[in-house]
Amino acid sequence: MYGLVNKAIKEMMIQEYGTNGWQAICEAVDLENDHFINLQPYPDELTYQMVTAAACYANQPVPDILKAFGHHWIKYTGQNGYGDMLNLGGHDLPTFLSNLDRMHAGMSHAYPELRPPSFRCETLSPNKLRLHYQSEREGLPPFVIGLLEGLGEYLNTPLRVDHSGPCDLDQNCEVFHIDLLEEA
């Protein structure tokens, strides 16, 4: 994945576990140079290894780290040059989700090797959405849950996300149900 992603992981880990924790994670994955370049693609393997090493270091399951990273990604992109992009996506969740593919596609000038996910959002009722997430990568549904929860916070939209499992017809596709909760 692009360095932007790895940089955000590094920032989250330093915030969570301090520089000593981050150094331990770098050693665990034999990472000699941790100066990631936003616009440079890195092997997916490295990103997965960093997440696995963090889970080991923190004694937490990998899905919990991925979910936390989903929350962090929304804050990180908002504060590191992509706030306008988040603002332009839409001010309500269904609109935002239906613009996500366009948003990722719009980045392909700067990130020509981007292999973005694809999302399709259906409104089942005024308070219930069904989201189809397609990716060539495995194991990232917990990241998507964290992203959706983070997006809910960003848009001031309380919500609950359930990962319902794979689509019937497409093995690269996962289904999520989102309940939009009434304001307390």
Q: Could you tell me where the DSSP H helices lie in the chain?
A: 3-28, 44-58, 62-79, 83-88, 93-106, 141-154
Nearer to ligand HEM, 27 or 113 (CB): 113
What's the min distance (Å) between Cβ of 86 and ligand HEM? 5
Binding site for ligand HEM (CB under 6 A): 1-2, 4-5, 77, 82, 85-86, 100, 104, 107, 111, 114-117, 135, 137, 140, 143-144, 147-148, 151
- Report the C-alpha gap between 39 and 29 in whole angstroms: 22
What's the min distance (Å) between Cβ of 164 and ligand HEM? 16
- Report the C-alpha gap between 106 and 84 in whole angstroms: 13
Nearer to ligand HEM, 12 or 140 (CB): 140
Structure tokens at 21: 């924790």
Nearer to ligand HEM, 31 or 117 (CB): 117
| β-strand partners of 130 | 122, 177
Nearer to ligand HEM, 5 or 31 (CB): 5
What's the min distance (Å) between Cβ of 147 and ligand HEM? 4
What's the min distance (Å) between Cβ of 114 and ligand HEM? 5
| β-strand partners of 120 | 132
Find out whether 113 and 136 touch, Cβ atoms under 8 Å: no
Find out whether 150 and 75 touch, Cβ atoms under 8 Å: yes
Nearer to ligand HEM, 128 or 137 (CB): 137
What's the min distance (Å) between Cβ of 19 and ligand HEM? 25
Largest CA-CA distance found in the chain, in angstroms, rounded: 51
